Amino acid sequence: MTFKELNISEPILRALTNKKYENPTPVQEKAIPPALEGHDLLGIAQTGTGKTAAFAIPIIQQLDEARAQERRHEIKALILTPTRELAIQIDESFRNYAKYTSLRHTVVFGGVNQRPQVDKLRHGIDILVATPGRLLDLINQGHISLSHIRHFVLDEADRMLDMGFIHDIKRLLPMLPKQKQTLFFSATMPAAIATLSQSILRNPVRIEIIPVSSAADMIKQHLYYVERQKKNQLLVSLLRQERNKSVLVFSRTKHGADKIARILKKNGIECEAIHGNKSQVARQRVLSNFKSKKTRVIVATDIAARGIDVVNLELVINYDLPDVAETYVHRIGRTGRAGQTGTALSFCSQDEHMMVRNIQRLTGRKLNPVLA
Ligand code: AMP
């Protein structure tokens, strides 16, 4: 996927080329199209995923397109963020991405003299980045009006809550026009944040980005380049080496899962397959045997594996690589839980090289090849 394919306008594409961004990050790929259509968003993503551009680009593009019919610079987009460092960074992002438009932006935060901020506001501003306390102060003094806001971003909502800003936010919300687009971002979704999001979002598109790096840091990941016909042999030999570990083997298809399980049993390895064609009772039985360590190896499809929640899962083996890179992160996240280290081994045949590239791009790290 390229930025162009996301229908990003020419002035912003130029700015992205300046920044040498080659392609959109996953959060950008998911957030930009619905945001450009004017939908509300509920984004579960951390800093470092590229989420700033994911909300800044659609806002700039929508305001830039409307700008032709407008003369006045009044505040049409408000980005609320908990800390001054974040506020400065976000404003910097708007500076970069809006470089080839005539939109004006500025940032206000507490702990410094307000005079220069007020001077900037007087010049007329389209996009305002703010921390809650200073924003309220400036509103109360009549320097800022929120009555023309069309786009509202609540960034790092969970940190806002931790830092005690929730009352400030609740005071600000009624000052915003009813008719607007709201983009809500949080790294985590505790109950209080879920409730807040429900109270301010209208039919939001939900986007979730798994925190790749933190999960992957705890997990040793290795890659075996292996011919398709030799995968069974490799699996048997690896499972024989890891005699005492609880192992989850992933297969792309139900049929494949059954076949792998049959081969393992033939080779004297106790195992069971679990997938959507099995009854709920049968799946439950397999899972409880796995948890009690009666069954050491399970072969599962992605959907069936969702129900597997075993703390001491030491090893995940990707017999097949998944088509979608995020699925890889979900799979390996089964091991390395609760601060324990885990291992993920992946088999890659000739036709799966492309998937390795996608996974490496998503996780931002190389998988170590091991000679089989
Ligand atoms: P954020 O999660 O918004 O704090 O962004 C994290 C970092 O990723 C920032 O330094 C951005 O400049 C950078 N970034 C954002 N989008 C991209 C992209 N599409 N390609 C490369 N880097 C990016």
Does pLDDT of 336 surpass 70?
A: no
Strands lying side by side in the sheet with 315-318: 271-274, 297-300, 247-250, 315-318, 342-348, 219-225, 368-370
- CATH 3.40.50.300-classified regions of the chain: 4-208, 213-370
Question: What CATH number belongs to 4-208?
Answer: 3.40.50.300
pLDDT of 216 = 60
Does pLDDT of 291 surpass 60?
A: yes
Q: Please, which residues have CB within 8 angstroms of residue 165's CB and are 6 or more apart in sequence?
A: 82, 132, 133
- Return the residue matching tokens 């792309």: 252
- Return the residue matching tokens 């292996």: 226
pLDDT of 372 = 57
Ligand 1 centroid to Cα of residue 48, in Å, is: 6
Which of 241, 215, 247, 250 is CA-nearest to residue 315?
247
pLDDT band at 38 (very low <50, low <70, confident <90, very high): very high
Could you identify the atom of ligand 1 that is nearest to the CA of residue 48? 2
Structure confidence by residue, pLDDT tens digits, 129-143: 999 999 999 999 999
CB atoms within 10 A of CB 18: 12
Ligand 1 centroid to Cα of residue 2, in Å, is: 15
Top-confidence residue, 156 or 211: 156
Most ligand 1 atoms within 8 A of CB, residue of 5, 8, 19 to mutate: 19
Question: What CATH number belongs to 213-370?
Answer: 3.40.50.300
Q: From atom 11 of ligand 1, which residue's Cα is the shortest distance away?
A: 50
Structure confidence by residue, pLDDT tens digits, 182-195: 999 998 888 899 99
**Per-residue pLDDT averaged across 204-233, rounded?**
83
Report the alpha-carbon distance of residue 246 to residue 239 in Å, rounded: 10
Q: Please, which residues have CB within 8 angstroms of residue 181's CB and are 6 or more apart in sequence?
A: 35, 38, 39, 40, 62, 150, 151, 152
What's at 226, amino acid-wise?
V
Could you identify the atom of ligand 1 that is nearest to the CA of residue 23? 19
Structure confidence by residue, pLDDT tens digits, 160-187: 998 899 999 999 999 999 999 999 999 8
Q: From atom 5 of ligand 1, which residue's Cα is the shortest distance away?
A: 50
- Return the residue matching tokens 């005071």: 171
Ligand 1 centroid to Cα of residue 154, in Å, is: 18
- 3-state class (DSSP) for residue 229: helix
What's at 304, amino acid-wise?
A
Ligand 1 centroid to Cα of residue 86, in Å, is: 13
Report the alpha-carbon distance of residue 272 to residue 290 in Å, rounded: 9
Q: Please, which residues have CB within 8 angstroms of residue 49's CB and are 6 or more apart in sequence?
A: 25, 26, 27, 209
Report the alpha-carbon distance of residue 164 to residue 19 in Å, rounded: 35
pLDDT of 329 = 84
Ligand 1 centroid to Cα of residue 93, in Å, is: 9
Report the alpha-carbon distance of residue 335 to residue 328 in Å, rounded: 12
Ligand 1 centroid to Cα of residue 194, in Å, is: 26
Does pLDDT of 10 surpass 70?
A: yes
Give the C-alpha distances (Å, rounded to integers) separating 8 from 19, 42, 49, 91.
15, 21, 19, 20
**Rounded to 5°, angle at Cα 237 from 359 and 339:** 50
| Residues 192 and 162: beta-carbon distance below 8 Å | no
- The residues lining ligand 1, judged by C-beta closer than 6 Å to any ligand atom, are 21, 24-25, 28, 47-53
Could you identify the atom of ligand 1 that is nearest to the CA of residue 96? 12
Does pLDDT of 102 surpass 80?
A: yes
